[in-house]
């Protein structure tokens, strides 16, 4: 059964991630902990489907202040076709110079960490996000497919791919085609894998960053489900802590 096969294949990918990418995950989590301990921020950026781990990292139950996704509506699917649709997004994320207009409204300092997510690692948006972060001295972490990296030539005018710019590269373990299930009679495979692997990596980073901060005696206000919150105003305090963080970083 294709559904059962997907579970088998995705489990294999995740097991390989745990073995192959763990050293880089640990390095990245230490950089993230350094940023938060310094009262700075860990930025997350992605476009297209790679925005999903950014949306999921904060605010959500189990995440904490100091994790700051960058939301840029034109780089997030709002539609299939027409305004905000897929063809528009795919065009925008390939336009060199666009990210300069997005990031100029953010304060980026050397103490910050930037997590840039791109399965292909070839589009201008992700590459220039990493470049701009590096220009400001921030630590750049790339979540990308290294299979993609090795089989595809650079498309950016700099001659670089995302992994070439990053300080730390975490392989998402997904194949270049991303989808992993072949269907008899169908030309193309179905059922993508990089969203699952990137979300898993992202949550592993959250877990390890929290552990690293705890070793330093630092506790960060963390969102919890209202169903299990010990006090009714717990998440209101988290929101206020988030406001305080934003005041510090901006």
Domain membership of residue 11 (yes or no) is no
Whether 194 is in a domain gets the answer yes
> What confidence score (pLDDT) does residue 244 get?
81
Whether 92 maps to a domain, the answer reads yes
The tens digit of pLDDT for each residue in 159-199 reads: 999 999 999 999 999 999 999 999 999 999 999 999 999 99
Judge whether 239 lies within some domain: yes
Tell me what the mean pLDDT of segment 238-245 comes to: 84
**Is residue 97 one of the residues assigned to a domain?**
yes
Res 60: pLDDT: 87
Handedness of CA 169, 106, 110, 33 (dihedral sign): negative
Please give the Cα distance from 155 to 177 (Å, whole number): 17
12 within domain boundaries: no
DSSP code of residue 85:
-
Q: For residue 22, what pLDDT is reported? A: 95
Question: Is the whole-model pTM more than 0.75?
Answer: yes
* 232 upstream amide cis, omega within 30 of 0: no
**Rg, Å, the chain Cα set:** 18
From the CB of residue 135, how many other CB atoms can be counted at a distance below 10 Å?
10
What percent of the chain has pLDDT above 90?
78
Query: Does position 127 have pLDDT exceeding 80, yes or no?
Result: yes
The CATH code of the domain that includes 67 is 3.40.50.10490
**The pLDDT of residue 250 is above 80:** no
Q: Which two tokens stand for residue 126?
A: 């992700």
Q: How far apart are CA 53 and CA 45, in angstroms?
A: 9
Lowest-pLDDT choice from 13-17, 58-62, 240-244: 240-244
pLDDT digits (tens, 9 = 90+) for 77-115: 888 888 888 899 899 999 999 999 999 989 999 999 999
Q: Give me the number of domains the chain comprises.
A: 1
> Which among 114, 44, 133, 107 is positioned nearest to 249, based on CA atoms?
107
pLDDT tens-digit map of 195-213: 999 999 999 999 999 999 9
Give the range of the structural domain holding residue 91, as residue numbers without chain letter: 2-6+17-249
The reply to whether 107 falls in a domain is yes
CA 46 to chain CA centroid, Å, is 6
CB-based contact 222:242 (threshold 8 Å): no
For the chain, what is the mean pLDDT? 93
């Amino acid at each position: 059964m294709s559904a059962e096969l997907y579970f088998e294949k995705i489990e294999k990918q995740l097991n390989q991630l745990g073995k192959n990418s763990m050293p880089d995950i640990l390095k990245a989590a230490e950089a993230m902990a350094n940023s938060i301990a310094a009262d700075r921020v860990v930025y997350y950026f992605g476009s297209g489907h790679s925005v999903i781990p950014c949306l999921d990292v904060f605010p959500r139950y189990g995440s904490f202040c100091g994790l700051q996704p960058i939301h840029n509506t034109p780089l997030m699917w709002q539609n299939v076709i027409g305004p905000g649709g897929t063809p528009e997004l795919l065009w925008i994320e390939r336009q060199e110079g666009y990210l300069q207009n997005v990031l100029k409204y953010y304060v980026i300092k050397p103490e910050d960490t930037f997590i840039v997510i791109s399965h292909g690692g070839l589009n201008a948006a992700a590459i220039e996000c990493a470049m701009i972060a590096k220009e400001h001295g921030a630590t750049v972490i790339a979540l990308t497919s290294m299979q993609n990296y090795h089989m595809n030539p650079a498309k950016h005018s700099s001659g670089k791919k995302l992994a070439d710019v990053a300080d730390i590269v975490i392989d998402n373990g997904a194949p270049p085609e991303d989808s992993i299930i072949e269907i008899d009679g169908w030309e193309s495979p179905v059922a993508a894998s990089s969203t699952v692997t990137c979300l898993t990596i992202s949550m592993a980073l959250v877990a390890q960053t929290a552990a690293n901060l705890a070793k330093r005696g630092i506790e960060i206000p963390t969102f919890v489900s209202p169903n299990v919150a010990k006090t009714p105003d717990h998440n209101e305090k988290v929101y206020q802590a988030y406001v305080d963080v934003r005041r510090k970083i901006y």
